[in-house]
Structure 1
């Protein structure tokens, strides 16, 4: 009998992987900055994980050799964070809000846990709460920062006043301070940031700033503002030396004898702004950063060094590195037996980890970005190094770094999820922008990109303005999520962006909106000249200063140039920004005060050009935004409506300058992309 013909059925094509979604961003596990054990063999870091409904932070231990898998150290805390090893390596301190004897901590407290695990023990029960801390070198105690009432003496008095304060029925906030709110909260009424000493054995608390006018910077207060000498006798810290606190433009650097509480100024000059002090291992030098704000308000921070003699008398300070160093320097750390300093610095849309040789003066990249978000140095001679870094293609990953070896990854968080998603290609391009300068632009291509097809495009204009778009992973403006519906996403590092030198950054002062918009327009010309660009579907979006530029373009770009705008938390009215937390900075940025030079202020304010605004705009703002108060977004939306310009408002009563709640974030992405697509569509479809 004849044989049946063999089947010619085609093999099933595996389904294409989906692009990254807004929901995926909340399934990703988010790693914090690592803290190395004293012997350099292990690290501990925080890990945030959860769902759209609930998230929590826990602490994880990792082996720096990579031989053992990471393991959870804490599981029951909601916000376990800021872990730090004890000097002997036998305990890890961290901040948390936990339940004790049936009552949950109202404010973050200090906890202690053994690296082998077990139950965490609460070290503090301080009503005002703990903001940051550092271990004393002998492990007998910690120095921490806290918001306290400056006129009170002793921890008991602070506890009583805090109890009275929390029981008050009134909600009013009264102040005569210049600087009284920050980001999304009021500075605790009547309080300042002091440093305290906690003795672990006795539980005794001592206010180190008691009876003085000293306080930590009100906008910071983190552990980067102070350091303890290796012998445990001295405390270096930065503070605002002005009699009236104004938010700080030139922080002073001082040192306290921890036994007597006597202070000596190390650097107090209104022309110089000091930050991030860090003692050498022998205690005879102090590294920090220094910016020459007397030369310019936007001076770049440089690495600096202060030396002491054998009697610990200050021998003066010096700037480090080459004379032509033109990058903004992050907090320095000592390494390799005090022979080198390590720090991060942005350069052309990336953030690298740098090594400065203190003998030769040579400065080179130790780990290239992507974006190095943080690092720690450990081991007996400071030779062990771990880093936390990301890129546009992945969230933060942890690596161990050894001289002469490639970085060794220590975990595989998020690999499983990312293996099931497609991410678009990242491209870096340069074009000629304002003043004939070379300007950088990053492109994220959609996963289905084809050079033979035409693709819609929109700008995502970064905020700051003294920041940068770059090769980094974002949760709030993720370009892969924004490109998921087929758009090419363009991110321009316009004039004023960081990482391109002082002159580029300082160029926009006193003429904000001018050079930056020229850069955006030149980028649009470059994009529309590409064979894959759909000239009929170009939009512009941005947040914060990027939102300001979107509003600026609406009053300056040719009608029809952009199909739509999305303005998130953008400045609309420069006079209204005097309601912001950073209002003292605004006249310096504009080089004018509105009561002295109204024409110059108006020349830099989008609302003065409202008569020319005609492009459909989605306005997004949060009621808890103190950096750009929502009166800006509401006025912008109302103005467009009054003029008959199509506009939509997305307003969050419970968000600040950023949209941080999971469900609100997903809504933000949906409204954003729906609006852009709505105005790309033909008119008949839009009416539907």
Structure 2
């Protein structure tokens, strides 16, 4: 629920008899071929590199049609597929010496499993730490002489330390969420984040000595202010820890010297949220700045305080890293141009084989007055005069944002003749802590006020045809879609809800424990404590008012938006004779199989064209 529906590449998603089939409203073959080509074009992620062997790299790619892990030896420019599983492998990393690849093995997308290892040059997969049983992952730090890993189950969190040649041990256990965050270069200090104060949205930090598990230092900024350990300085004996904080209402940076227990806030004259990583020599920070749907990169010199903007094109940086030679590599795209792995100064670093996917469409910015302040929206219009049939594509999270990046799903709707609107409602990131946290105590209904404000403004502008507006989203966006159909029935001609929360009380019972803790913080308590708050925000409460037809897409193994609560909602629609269609697939909270994604998008477009024709 607190993640996008597609856990791999953007817009990555088995058909059952309930899946609707295309009809005479299907798109012309050339348009279908164009939107499908955007999904089928192989992509690669920003390579992760071994700290002590930077020529050894690991990246994700869907070149096989499924997202898997790939090893890349830059010294010989050889590439090797590491994993090969029916539903893909999303998470992987490298040991500092580059000798070992770690990857997480779940079952068909259920996110519950164990860490596996494989030699970089190839060989058998083995369970990394057999003493640690299957669980949801809660952080992994691989040192030179010790490994720290976290696990989460319905019983809470356990953080383990596995020193080389010694028996692994539990160093932390608690009923509330916790995770492994950072390990010092010499492996002597481990930083964990915890929520013992009761709110996992705003974690505190604790530093442990790995030799004896003793507490070295603590840091918490109090209620409503989270701390995030980013990474230790990459030098022997260096105790400087880079930390993200939000003391002034947005994500900023500080350097905490644990050796002297002193901190230095890094105050940057930038309007949005910032994060950062170290340059390999420890002298500077590579700063990422996110604001209003776009991102920038800077180099911050720690000695002089000089901030130098790196010359990257306007768009979105999905990740960046500073290499030992000082060059910066990044994953970049914008709404028109597909993703590329390039250096900040221009050259392409890593490209997937095959033809580049078709270009997409630029986005327009809109700022609309809303009940909580100005709401930022992105708009794409098809050819021809308005008002247009319009698809409001609502992001998940809720702590995420829509942006000026390449989105194959967005472009598919425009190809089909729809205008597309994205709304960065209250709850979205990139607009400050107050905006992000404004839905606390009233989730769902708060976001829909902002979506409604944008809807009304674009209707008044003549962009949106109010008789031909549909709403669609995945995960939290699917939750908002179903809630909108019940609470704003007059606005919407149809809805497409992918892996949604549909019955919040049942979802709370069945979801992973980490999300239950998140819900308690968001709603102000458990369903037993604030029952009426959950009922007020639950789509199933408003099922009587649903008038528009709805397509529901559901994953059989979804641990975030479990299948039972979706079936409860569908059952209520069925009993009331409400028009609805269902698409079920055999994976978790989304799919890493590209052809499965295409089937889902094809099903959604067919539903939209039949229910809300753009012509």
TM score, norm. by length of structure 1 = 0.71
2:38 paired with 1:30: no
Alignment of 1:510-521 (within 5 A): 510-521=441-452
Change (3 A) 1:125 1:437: closer
1:386 pairs with one of 323, 326, 329? 329
Alignment of 1:162-241 (within 5 A): 177-178=155-156, 192-198=158-164, 205-207=165-167, 210=169, 212-213=171-172, 225-229=181-185, 232=186, 234-240=188-194
1:148 Cα offset (Å): 9.0
2:337 paired with 1:371: no
Task: Deviation per CA, 1:158-201: give whole Å up to 9, x if none.
Answer: xxxxxxxxxxxxxxxxx87246xxxxxxxxxxxx4423233xxx
1:121 Cα offset (Å): 8.7
Q: Which sections of structure 2, spanning at least 5 residues, go unmatched?
A: 1-28, 106-112
2:494 paired with 1:564: yes
Where 2:163 maps in the other structure, the secondary structure is strand
1:83 Cα offset (Å): 5.2
Task: Deviation per CA, 1:288-340: give whole Å up to 9, x if none.
Answer: 32446xx89xx7543221225xxxx4333343325x8764443x322274332
8 Å contact from structure 2 (residues 140, 149) kept in 1: no
2:355 pairs with one of 408, 416, 419? 416
The structure number with the bigger radius of gyration is: 1
How many Å separate the matches in 2 of 1:76 and 1:611?
Answer: 50
Alignment of 1:532-611 (within 5 A): 533-559=464-490, 561-579=491-509, 580-581=511-512, 582-591=515-524, 593-611=526-544
Where 1:483 maps in the other structure, the secondary structure is helix
Q: Which sections of structure 1, spanning at least 5 residues, go unmatched?
A: 1-14, 64-69, 99-104, 114-118, 150-174, 180-191, 199-204
Provide the residue aligned with 2:117 in structure 1. Answer: 109
Provide the residue aligned with 2:231 in structure 1. Answer: 277
Point out which structure has higher relative CO (alpha carbons under 8 A, 6+ apart).
2
2:203 paired with 1:250: yes
1:254 Cα offset (Å): 0.9
1:627 pairs with one of 560, 581, 590? 560
1:142 Cα offset (Å): 4.6
Alignment of 1:57-96 (within 5 A): 57-62=69-74, 71-75=77-81, 77-78=83-84, 82=92, 84=94, 92-95=99-102
How many Å separate the matches in 1 of 2:505 and 2:570?
Answer: 17
8 Å contact from structure 1 (residues 388, 399) kept in 2: yes
Provide the residue aligned with 1:165 in structure 2. Answer: none
Change (3 A) 1:661 1:532: same
1:673 Cα offset (Å): 1.0
1:619 Cα offset (Å): 1.6
1:135 Cα offset (Å): 6.5
2:275 paired with 1:320: no
Provide the residue aligned with 2:8 in structure 1. Answer: none
How many Å separate the matches in 1 of 2:590 and 2:67?
Answer: 17
Alignment of 1:276-295 (within 5 A): 276-281=230-235, 283-291=237-245
How many Å separate the matches in 1 of 2:44 and 2:370?
Answer: 38
Provide the residue aligned with 1:184 in structure 2. Answer: none
Where 1:341 maps in the other structure, the secondary structure is strand
How many Å separate the matches in 1 of 2:535 and 2:151?
Answer: 41
Provide the residue aligned with 2:147 in structure 1. Answer: 144
1:539 Cα offset (Å): 0.9
How many Å separate the matches in 1 of 2:516 and 2:503?
Answer: 13
8 Å contact from structure 1 (residues 80, 95) kept in 2: no
8 Å contact from structure 2 (residues 53, 96) kept in 1: no
Change (3 A) 1:425 1:233: closer
Change (3 A) 1:377 1:82: farther
Provide the residue aligned with 1:338 in structure 2. Answer: 282
Provide the residue aligned with 1:527 in structure 2. Answer: 458
Q: Aligned pairs, how many?
A: 565
1:245 Cα offset (Å): 10
Where 1:463 maps in the other structure, the secondary structure is coil
1:16 Cα offset (Å): 7.7
Task: Deviation per CA, 1:110-164: give whole Å up to 9, x if none.
Answer: 4144xxxxx669898754689887665xxxx453345799xxxxxxxxxxxxxxx
1:666 Cα offset (Å): 2.3
How many Å separate the matches in 2 of 1:499 and 1:195?
Answer: 35
How many Å separate the matches in 1 of 2:284 and 2:574?
Answer: 59
8 Å contact from structure 1 (residues 328, 346) kept in 2: yes
Provide the residue aligned with 1:157 in structure 2. Answer: none
Provide the residue aligned with 2:428 in structure 1. Answer: 497
Change (3 A) 1:364 1:642: farther
Provide the residue aligned with 2:417 in structure 1. Answer: 486
Taking only aligned residues, the RMSD between alpha carbons, in angstroms, comes to 4.0
8 Å contact from structure 1 (residues 33, 375) kept in 2: no
How many Å separate the matches in 1 of 2:114 and 2:263?
Answer: 43
1:238 Cα offset (Å): 1.3
Alignment of 1:429-448 (within 5 A): 429-435=365-371, 437-445=373-381
